[in-house]
Chains A and B, each alone.
Chain A
Amino acid sequence: MEPMHPELREALKEAHPGLTDREIDRYEELLAARMRCDPEREAARIAELDRERRELVESAMPRYAAVAQAVKAVQAARRSPGDRPRESVTLKKKP
């Protein structure tokens, strides 16, 4: 699972006054634990972890999705387009 960007962590705390690093870490642990489960053999465990994680989001960081989108947008705008010259065309002179 892609690690949480530190800017998202800070933005989450800013958007949710009172939100602690410990709660964010708990969210991340629940998510990581879920992804360690085999979906075919441990569906019940995944459902349990998802329920706990959903409750944590709803109670402690209800604006998670919107904040994540906003952080991503800011990061994307900050990055240079990165487009490099991909090709050069040289026309041949007619003899």
Chain B
Amino acid sequence: MWSYALKRTGTTALTLVAASIVVFAFIHVIPGDPIYVLLGDTATPDQIENLRHELGLDQPIVIQYLQWVGHALSGDLGHSIFFQAPVLSVIADGAETSTLLATITMVWVVLIGIPIGVIAAVRHGSWLDQGLSGAAMLMASVPTFWVGLYLILIFAATLGWLPSSGYPSIFDGGLGNLRYLILPSLTLAAPNAALILRLTRASMLDVSREDYVRAARAKGIRPWQVVRRHILRNALLTVVSAFGFTFAALLSEAVVTETVFALPGIGRLVVQSILRRDYPVIQGIILVIVVIYLLVNLIVDLTYRVLDPRVELQ
């Protein structure tokens, strides 16, 4: 286990280094002098000279990269052109919304995807299974923002049950403000719950063909006990390993969902920064998201190892 953990952490670190080179190169491949890319068109000659020196733009590219990494490691991701504030603090402002949105979405994904997937697998081949599986495939074929707009139309505009946009911090208005995240999290959960549903169903069916399941059935164990103790437990392992992938999809789709619901999160910040040409913020967000994504995948992989000791033997 430990040698695997060490090796897996090592590859993650290597991938991270390579990814950081890609993110670093981002500013340099945008057409135009990086100094204007970073400062905007309104920069004064003084600012330009200062930043050129600070980033070492007169130095070889390798030194520039190392300096950039050094800054990033100490939490300095550059300066936002639009906000005139450190990029890290701009990102931190959106962190509360995005973290809560991701967490609530994951809760929906687990609560909806897994139980319905189990039902579909247990009733394998029935009309219920075909209906549920078909519905899941349909949900995976629907653009997230379209779902979001319909939820707004029905639950906010027509029924008036829930707010349609924005999110005031729970630290200002209490936990009641979480109601602002109900529609966005359901929107974001729809395609991902569909994915987990299909995966749960498929891996349940895979496991149910195993010899030990047949043996358990032959011993006369009650069918629902076989499902719960023998099939579900093992099938969930595969589902756990897919959480890393789901998380990435969620990060991507959050960009659109946060825009639809005008949430002050990191996803909407990306889109706004693109429209504002605030390149340092875009670069910072891409870096932060890649780091989070790689860490989540590392944790998922290591957890999988702990949960399923058989993997080690293969």
Does B bind A?
A: no
